[in-house]
């Protein structure tokens, strides 16, 4: 589902860019707007006379696609988030109640794999104690004597 959401998001971005271009190229109303930035008759110069109706229809379709994709993506994101959230809430619920997560037993490399359950002592939590570091320095060993060269 994540791939489809990413793909539709990419299509939405492309549609946004096309919609921006279509709005900027349209004929200005009352000789104002960004259409004048390209010159007086920007749409006529680029697409020929009478192109206002074609550009208007293309803008309507691009806007409809934009709103449709935005709604579909919103619904898909909601379902995707809700599914991942419910799995997370289950883990939190197990942690709050103190019940351990049931994992299959792992076999050690030297022992053959078995399907029997672990003994109770193996499932009990381990308590690790670290002895304090000693404050006395370790005894220094004397360095070996260097041989003197013959004269």
Structural domain boundaries of the chain? 2-97
Structural tokens at position 129: 């104690």
Distance of CA 112 to the CA centre of its chain: 40
In the chain the first and final C-alpha atoms are separated, in Å, by 86
Q: What is the pLDDT of residue 38?
A: 55
CB 102 within 8 A of CB 27: no
Q: What is the pLDDT of residue 120?
A: 53
Instruction: Count Cβ atoms within 10 A of the Cβ of residue 15 and give its class: 0-12 exposed, 13-18 middle, 19 or more buried.
Output: buried
Residues of the chain with pLDDT under 70: 27-52, 98-127, 129, 131-140, 142-144, 151
Q: What is the pLDDT of residue 112?
A: 55
Q: pTM of the full predicted structure?
A: 0.46
Q: What is the pLDDT of residue 91?
A: 77
């Amino acid at each position: 589902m994540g791939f489809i959401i990413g793909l539709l998001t990419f299509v939405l971005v492309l549609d946004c860019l096309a919609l921006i271009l279509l709005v900027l190229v349209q004929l200005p109303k009352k000789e104002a707007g960004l259409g004048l930035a390209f010159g007086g008759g920007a749409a006529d110069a680029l697409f020929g006379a009478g192109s206002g109706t074609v550009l208007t229809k293309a803008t309507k379709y691009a806007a409809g696609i934009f709103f449709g994709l935005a709604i579909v993506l919103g619904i898909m994101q909601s379902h995707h988030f809700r599914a991942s959230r419910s799995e997370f809430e289950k883990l939190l619920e197990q942690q709050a109640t103190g019940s351990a997560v049931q994992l299959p037993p792992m076999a050690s490399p030297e022992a053959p794999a078995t399907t029997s359950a672990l003994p109770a002592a193996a499932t009990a939590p381990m308590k690790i104690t670290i002895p304090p570091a000693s404050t006395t320095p370790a005894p220094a060993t004397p360095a070996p004597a260097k041989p003197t060269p013959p004269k």
